[in-house]
Amino acid sequence: MSQAVTRPATSAATRRGNFISRHWRGDYSLARSYWLHTVLLSSLLPAFSISVLARLTNDMPARYGVGGVLAIAAFSYLAWIWGVRGCWMSASRHVARGGRRWAEVAVKVLIVFGAISLVSSTWRVSHSFREQFDIARGKQLGPPVVYQLRVDGKSILLQGGMNDGAADGLERLLQAEPSVTTVVLYSAGGWVREGKLVGDVIRRRGLNTYVEQECSSSCTLAFMAGRDRAMDPRAHIGFHTLYTVGGDDRINKTFDRNLTFDTYGKLGLPHDFIERIADTPSNKSWYPEQGRMLQAGVLTRLAPGGETAQLATIATSRDILEEEFKKGALFDIMARYHPKDFARMVDRAWALAKAHASDAEILAVGREQVGILSRKLLPIASDESLQEFQQLVLDQAVALRGISAAACTELIYPHSRADAAAGRETPQAALPQEFANREMAMTQRLFRDADPANAVRFTLGERTRVIRRALAPLSQEQLRLLSSPERRQADPDATCDASISYLRAVSELPSDERRIALRVLYSRGD
């Protein structure tokens, strides 16, 4: 009689189910479950998927790429759970299959440490996940983009973040306005991709770029596409290392540095300049001096400012233009203390604004009126304001002597008021900003404290004695030079030196005599 033989039920079970469920139950060997299914499939497959995704979404808005990354991350977590659960089950059956106990223990220990590491890394990048979720839902890095066609039809302002669609919006507006030659950028940055796309639009059309206030981060990629690149002297252009949104900051650091060198290198910037950009953290900005940017090729020229019709565009009425002027502290003081002079200035500026003049032309009217009013107020200025004015002129002359003797002479003996009215550079424009700040503070004080009660009459004897004391240190040749306009114009070097000597002599007079000398000098209006 034959004996019936049956195979173990578990053997049949190992053949049932698909690959996923069999691994989940731990039916595969421990080596296969760990090395092939967990380490290889659940680790390398997501990495491969991300590389493919990067190529597919390279020319797409950031939300698509980030959405794909989040989907892959979710899949990776599920794959890891599936992998380690199957490994754990396989390890639990490893000894029963004839395997060694230490292998079971080793794999389970690795799984425990892996779980701890996963929780730790997830916590570390949790802020990145939140940021990525927001971006996937359409959040942009900067404020909404707005465009403004200036009234002269020559320039367009792009203001806001380098957000998705910024380049498309600029392209549509340029198609409708073919006379535009300059794109004015006012942006703190946004997507690197969009900054490049805006730059592509500018480069393809051969347009100029200009900064009136700020252009930082990825905005600089658009700015660098301009054929002619300039900025207002008071504006800021800021750089920092380009960075990747999401992920582990420690891993991104090397990638971001390489991205920065590659991106700015293609724009032709020198290595040491890019090195400084790459060394600037993404949460800060480096604002190079204009001279360095000119040398590095960021700027193609230095500009006096006010090159577009911004004021004429904003000021759709005289009242609006008046309020724009009052935003400046000096003009606000002028309006309060000398309303008639201020109104006269606004009237002239409004006529230019209606003619779509540039900011430089409009503001030149303001500077001219400030100069006229200052000269009118000097005879009734306080002693303190006169002394401050005298010291400022002396310091400016000394500084200009090392730059240009002609500019030094022009400062003390201005031969053409028309230059200032036309918006051309004055001698002071060649001086460091600290002099402009001092002059602004001095003029504000002059506007406030000028009072007819300050006017003093001196006898001819007093005037003559003080002027002789001031002129005593000068040689006869210097006296003849300063008294002759023709000689002053022919020899600016000697004129500058003689003028500085004269200004110093006045400053070195005893206080009582200096007060009389300044009052006499600046009451003559020359």
Percentage of residues in the chain having pLDDT higher than 70: 86
Mean pLDDT of 257-264: 92
- pLDDT of amino acid 42: 66
In this prediction, residues 269-294 reach a mean pLDDT of 95
Look up tokens 């340029």; give the residue: 174
Cα–Cα dist 23/16, whole Å: 11
- Looking at 136, 169, 189, the residue that finishes a domain is 136
Domain extent at residue 152: 146-296
- Considering the domain architecture, whether residues 386 and 263 belong to the same structural domain is answered as no
Cβ contact 442:389 at 8 Å: yes
pLDDT at 10: 47
- Residue 460 within a domain: yes
> Using the 8-state DSSP alphabet, how is residue 286 labeled?
B
**328 vs 524 pLDDT, higher one:** 328
Which span out of 117-121, 319-323, 501-505 was modeled with the highest average pLDDT?
319-323
Can you give 139-158 as a three-state secondary structure string? Answer: CCCCCCCEEEECCCCCEEEE
Task: Output the pLDDT for position 249.
Answer: 52
> Are residues 269 and 386 part of one domain?
no
Domain assignment present for 11:
no
- Does residue 213 carry a pLDDT above 60? yes
Above 60 in pLDDT, residue 92?
Answer: yes
Do residue 358 and residue 394 come from a single domain?
Answer: yes
DSSP 25-90: HT-S-HHIIIIIIIIIIIIIHHHHHHHHHHHHTTTS-HHHHHHHHHHHHHHHHHHHHHHHHHHHHH
What mean pLDDT is predicted for residues 425-442? 81
Residues whose CB is less than 8 angstroms from the CB of residue 294 and which lie 6 or more positions away in sequence, other chains included: 300, 301, 302
The verdict on 330 and 469 lying in the same domain is yes
- Asked if residue 339 belongs to a domain, the reply is yes
Whether 472 and 517 map to the same domain: the answer is: yes
Judgement on whether residues 132 and 151 belong to the same structural domain of the protein: no
Q: From CA 284, how far away is CA 445, in angstroms rounded?
A: 36
Residue 97 in domain: yes
Q: Do 113 and 187 share a domain, yes or no? A: no
Number of domains in the chain: 3
Question: What confidence tier does 5 reach under pLDDT thresholds 50, 70, 90?
Answer: very low
In terms of domains, do 123 and 245 share one?
Answer: no
Residues 131 and 244 in one domain: no
For residues 383 and 379, give the distance between their C-alpha atoms in angstroms, rounded to a whole number: 10
Do 199 and 257 fall into the same domain? Answer: yes
Residue 309 lies in a domain: no
Q: Is residue 215 part of a domain?
A: yes
Looking at the structure, tell me whether residues 489 and 454 fall in a common domain. Answer: yes
77-86, 208-217, 334-343 — which is least confidently predicted?
Answer: 77-86
Q: Residue 260: which CATH number?
A: 3.90.226.10
Domain boundary among 108, 136, 164: 136
Q: What angle do CA 498, 500, 505 make, to 5 degrees?
A: 95
**Residue 183: CA count within 13 A, CB half-sphere:** 35
- Asked if residue 250 and residue 377 are part of one domain, the reply reads no
pLDDT for 78 equals 83
Residue 334 placed within a domain? yes
- Answer yes or no: pTM beyond 0.75: no
**For residue 308, which of 226, 213, 217, 238 has the smallest C-alpha distance?**
213
**End residue of a domain, out of 88, 117, 136:** 136
- What's the whole-number average pLDDT of the chain? 85
Flag whether 169 is in a domain. Answer: yes
